[in-house]
């Protein structure tokens, strides 16, 4: 969340330096993500808080933390004029399962033009360009309060109505930026006389956009099912300030506050007449009340706070005290805190604003607890040691993959994927390693052993029963060699697998169905000609988690050095590795660790990091001399 300093000071009269303000933000949970640039704080938060996607929400917590007064923005609370049939915009909702509230007002005879300098500066410091005073006001209120809004030119309507409905299959809309977007039925739109004018909750259309000729507008602030917004915005790849805020759960009451704030600014900056219009809100949502025992603060935070301090913090954060009986507080949660669900959430608020640094440090009276690392993690580290000894290169590949048209093996499809290329969980690690091998080939590294230890996922039955979703811990190995036939590659794989079993002390495996390997009637692996899949939990079971200690000794016997080189884009890294390996009989292996191309690298070139292993007995000094003699390091 970006917070322009001058905008922040509209609500909090803080006199501290930017560095001190940044420290305060970090102290209560809004971490400074980038250095202050002279105008704007760039903050990161990892809480599920919709109010922290607004300037006012961040200012409220800062004011509470610094014990300063919070200055609320001016709003227009007077009722507008009663609309005539000519001016009224009818609201029709055909998808009530998505719409919680749709709040509207009508303004007539407004003067659309350039925004005043203070408004333009606030938006531009945040990162939003100025368009005109009406559009700027809707953007300003969205950033200020966290409620997306939209204004439409009613003179461009073909019919004085807003019909909210599901989009038609392959229905199209041209956005206000001129982009044509093809829709689908899961999306919802705002339409009039059958013409789509707004992609609901995401982006406005060009059809009814506000420009300098506009005189009459309808202003809306909606509250929608955030799951629908999230799915549609990601599927259509439209991620903007509006969809960012609708990703969180917003309370319907926020629409009224946003309308009142926008009404004040429109009347101040654009003039005109203000009319009531329909506020579609069929099932009003009540505020949540939570009971909090003050003893819970000590249970969780380890300190006792005076009751008056607790009540002061809660009042500053917007909580309303309903009752206080026998040190049990009944509190009404403010509408903008949709993340607060249980009493411990309120305790967290109290501790944050009181200051985590003030929580007393207590010396432990007993011995520290014994190591609680699960045995499977320790065992998998041992497997890594063994595979590295056998000259395997470890990689970590993406568990998110593209779903197939007809998923096999119980593939789990994600409901809210970021894009269609990563919309499912992998059922095998092998595919990811094959992609890594293709990158090796591109760099003329034509043979090797790759491995990864990770999870694969599947479901045992169809439907939405999450109990049927399972994950399996696997060791995946892949062998590749351009010069070998599948038969010869199978020999390499067999040798690798035999070496693994030997290191684990498993001397009597049984083979079934040609490619399944069992020990004591437990399936430990499945083989392919170019690799194998080991089941680490089963391997731990049959080995008892023990192995010969000489593996670690062998790993430490030979040193390695990293060499960074800047080469042309066309020069193959594999050829360089082969050149290094051939330069001395004391080098056992050389391979590329990573590549980098970016702003700091000369155009047409790239930086590669090469790791070189030396034979046992070579010292650090000798290894450095060998690489220096090679001449390119």
Is 80 exceeded by the pLDDT of residue 424? Answer: yes
- 230 and 201 Cβ atoms separated by less than 8 Å: no
Q: What is the pLDDT of residue 551?
A: 42
Higher per-residue pLDDT: 628 or 316? 316
Spatial distance between the Cα atoms of 550 and 557, rounded to a whole number of angstroms: 10
Measured between alpha carbons, how far is 148 from 141 in angstroms, rounded to an integer?
8
Task: Provide the pLDDT confidence category of residue 54 given band limits of 50, 70 and 90.
Answer: very high
Instruction: Show the beta-strand stretches assigned E in 11-160.
Output: 31-34, 40-44, 90-93, 99-108, 150-153
Q: Does 423 have pLDDT greater than 90?
A: no
Q: How far is 567 from 510, CA to CA, in rounded Å?
A: 50
pLDDT in tens, 496-534: 998 899 889 887 888 888 789 999 889 999 999 999 999
> Rounded distance, CA 439 to CA 318, Å?
55
Helical pair 375-389 and 550-557, crossing angle rounded to 10 deg? 50
Residue 392 CB-half CA count within 13 A:
28
Q: Which residue has the higher pLDDT, 590 or 173?
A: 173
pLDDT at 577: 81
Structure confidence by residue, pLDDT tens digits, 594-611? 777 777 778 888 888 888
Does residue 594 contact residue 440 with C-beta atoms inside 8 Å? no
- Measure the N-to-C terminal CA separation of the chain; round to a whole number of Å: 44
CATH number attached to the domain at 90-280:
3.50.40.10
On whether the CB atoms of residues 489 and 449 are closer than 8 A, the answer is no
For residue 547, pLDDT over 70 is answered with no
* pLDDT tens per residue, range 76-119: 999 999 988 889 999 999 999 999 999 999 999 999 999 999 99
Contact at 8 Å (CB) between 200 and 173? Answer: no
SS3 592: strand
SS3 519: strand
Consecutive H or E run containing 594: strand 587-596
On the question of pLDDT at 557 being above 70, the answer is no
Give the pLDDT mean for 45-73.
94
DSSP of 127-164, one letter per residue?
T-----HHHHHHHHHHHHHS---EEEEGGG-SSSEEEE
Fold of the domain spanning 375-553: BirA Bifunctional Protein; domain 2 (3.30.930)
What pLDDT, on a 0 to 100 scale, did the predictor assign at position 552?
Answer: 41
Q: What is the pLDDT of residue 225?
A: 94
Rounded to the nearest integer, the mean pLDDT of the chain is 89
% of the chain exceeding 70 in pLDDT: 96
Flag the least confident range among 72-76, 342-346, 564-568.
564-568
Given a cut of 50, is residue 33 above it in pLDDT? yes
pLDDT of residue 408: 56
Residues 169-198, mean pLDDT to the nearest whole number: 90
Options 3.10.110.10, 3.30.56.10, 3.40.640.10, 3.30.70.1230; CATH for 2-66 is 3.30.56.10
pLDDT of residue 481: 92
Q: What percent of the chain has pLDDT over 90?
A: 63
Instruction: Give pLDDT, residue 556.
Output: 41
Give the pairing of strands 393-394 and 289-293: unpaired
Residues in the chain: 633
Distance set, CA 177 to CA 209, 514, 526 (Å): 10, 61, 54
pLDDT at 465 over 90: no
pLDDT at site 396: 94
pLDDT of residue 262: 97
* R_g of the chain, CA atoms, integer Å: 32
User: Are 511 and 517 contacting, i.e. CB atoms less than 8 angstroms apart?
Assistant: yes
Note whether 2-66 and 375-553 share their fold: no
pLDDT for residue 406: 44
Judge whether 144 and 150 are in contact, CB under 8 Å. Answer: no
Residue 416: pLDDT over 80: no
Mean pLDDT of all residues in 588-597: 75
The yes-or-no verdict on residue 357 having pLDDT over 70 is yes
Architecture of domain 558-630: 2-Layer Sandwich (3.30)
Q: Domain spanning 299-356: which CATH class is it, in words?
A: alpha beta
Does 328 score more than 90 pLDDT? Answer: yes
Q: Are strands 172-174 and 203-204 parallel, antiparallel or unpaired?
A: unpaired
Assign 471 a pLDDT band (cuts: 50, 70, 90): very high
With vertex at residue 491, the alpha carbon angle to CA 585 and CA 591, rounded to the nearest 5 degrees, is 35
At 546 the pLDDT is 52
User: Residue range 390-398: average pLDDT?
Assistant: 92
Q: What is the pLDDT of residues 223-248, one digit of tens each?
A: 999 999 999 998 898 989 999 999 89
DSSP 178-226: S-EEE--TTSEEEEETTEEEEETTTEEBSTT---TT---EEEEEEEE-H
Domain ranges (residues) in the chain: 2-66, 90-280, 299-356, 375-553, 558-630
């Amino acid at each position: 969340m970006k917070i322009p300093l001058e905008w922040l000071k509209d609500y909090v009269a803080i006199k501290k330096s930017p560095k001190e303000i940044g420290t305060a933000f970090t102290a209560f949970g809004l971490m400074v993500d980038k250095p202050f640039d002279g105008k704007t704080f760039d903050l990161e938060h990892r809480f599920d808080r919709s109010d922290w996607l607004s300037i006012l929400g961040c200012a409220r917590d800062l004011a509470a933390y610094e014990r300063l007064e919070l200055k609320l923005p001016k709003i227009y609370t007077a009722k507008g004029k009663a609309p005539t049939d000519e001016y009224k915009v009818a609201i029709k909702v055909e998808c009530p399962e998505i719409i919680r509230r749709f709040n509207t007002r009508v303004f007539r005879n407004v003067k659309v033009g350039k925004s005043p300098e203070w408004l333009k500066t606030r938006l531009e410091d945040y990162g939003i360009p100025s368009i005109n005073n009406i559009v700027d006001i809707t953007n300003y209120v969205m950033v200020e309060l966290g409620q997306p809004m939209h204004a439409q030119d009613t003179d461009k309507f073909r019919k004085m109505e807003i019909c909210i409905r599901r989009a038609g299959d392959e229905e199209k809309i041209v956005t206000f930026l001129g982009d044509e977007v093809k829709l689908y039925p899961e999306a919802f739109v705002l339409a009039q006389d059958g013409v789509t004018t707004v992609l609901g909750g995401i982006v406005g259309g060009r059809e009814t956009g506000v420009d300098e000729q506009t005189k009459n507008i309808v202003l809306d602030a909606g509250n929608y099912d955030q799951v629908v917004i999230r799915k549609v915005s990601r599927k259509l790849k439209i991620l903007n300030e509006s969809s960012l805020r609708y990703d969180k759960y917003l309370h319907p009451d926020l629409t009224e506050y946003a309308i009142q704030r926008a009404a004040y600014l429109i009347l101040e900056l654009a003039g005109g007449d203000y009319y009531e219009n329909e506020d579609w809100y069929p099932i009003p949502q009540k505020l949540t009340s939570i009971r909090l025992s003050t003893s819970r603060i000590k249970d969780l935070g380890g300190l006792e706070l005076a009751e008056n301090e607790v009540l002061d913090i809660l009042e500053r954060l917007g909580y309303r005290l309903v009752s206080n009986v026998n040190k049990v507080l009944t509190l009404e949660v403010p509408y903008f805190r949709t993340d607060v669900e249980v009493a411990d959430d309120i305790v967290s608020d109290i501790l944050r604003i009181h200051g985590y640094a003030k929580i007393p440090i207590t010396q432990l009276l007993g011995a520290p607890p014994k190591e609680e690392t699960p045995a499977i993690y320790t065992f998998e580290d041992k497997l890594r040691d063994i595979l590295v000894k056998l000259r395997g290169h470890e990689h970590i590949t993406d568990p998110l993959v593209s779903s197939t048209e007809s998923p096999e093996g119980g593939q789990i499809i994600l409901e809210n994927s970021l894009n269609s290329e990563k919309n499912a969980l992998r059922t095998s690690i092998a595919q990811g390693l094959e992609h890594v091998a293709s990158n090796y080939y591109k760099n003329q590294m034509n043979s090797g052993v790759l491995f990864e230890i990770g999870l694969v996922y599947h479901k045992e039955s169809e439907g939405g029963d999450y109990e049927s979703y399972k994950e399996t811990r696997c060791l995946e190995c892949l062998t590749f060699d351009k010069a070998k036939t599948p038969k010869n590659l199978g020999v390499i794989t067999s040798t690798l697998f035999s070496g693994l079993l030997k290191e684990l002390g498993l001397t009597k495996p049984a083979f079934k169905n040609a490619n399944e390997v069992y020990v004591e009637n437990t399936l430990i692996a499945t083989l392919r000609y170019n690799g194998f899949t080991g089941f680490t939990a089963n391997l731990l079971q049959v080995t008892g988690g023990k192995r010969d200690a000489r593996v670690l000794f062998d790993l430490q016997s030979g040193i390695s050095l990293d060499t960074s080189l800047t080469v042309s884009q066309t020069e193959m890294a594999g050829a360089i590795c082969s050149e290094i390996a051939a330069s001395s009989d004391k080098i056992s292996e050389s391979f590329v660790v990573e590549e980098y191309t970016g702003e700091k690298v000369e155009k047409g070139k790239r930086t590669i990091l090469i790791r070189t292993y030396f034979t046992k007995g070579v010292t650090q000094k000798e290894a450095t001399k060998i690489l220096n003699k090679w001449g390119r390091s």
